[in-house]
Amino acid sequence: PLFLLTGEYDYSCTPEDSQELARLIPGAELAIMPGLGHFPMSEAPQAFMSHLL
């Protein structure tokens, strides 16, 4: 299984790119974190952790 996580404002790895990648990989899951950029672990650590646990 693959879990993709991106920020809504990630311009390095855009949500659109992540959606396309998730579409191409069977069983992949994607979460887009609203209001965040490329570093959700620094921008919103608690919200980021909720996706890991």
Q: Where are the domains of the chain?
A: 3-52
Sign, CA torsion 48/50/31/36: negative
| Per-residue confidence (pLDDT) for residue 1, from 0 to 100 | 83
CB 23, CB 17: distance < 8 Å = no
In the chain, what is the straight-line distance between the N-terminal and C-terminal CA atoms, in Å? 15
| Per-residue confidence (pLDDT) for residue 27, from 0 to 100 | 97
| Per-residue confidence (pLDDT) for residue 53, from 0 to 100 | 76
Tokens 């920020």 sit at which residue?
7
The tens digit of pLDDT for each residue in 1-53 reads: 899 999 999 999 999 999 999 999 999 999 999 999 999 999 999 999 999 87
| Per-residue confidence (pLDDT) for residue 49, from 0 to 100 | 95
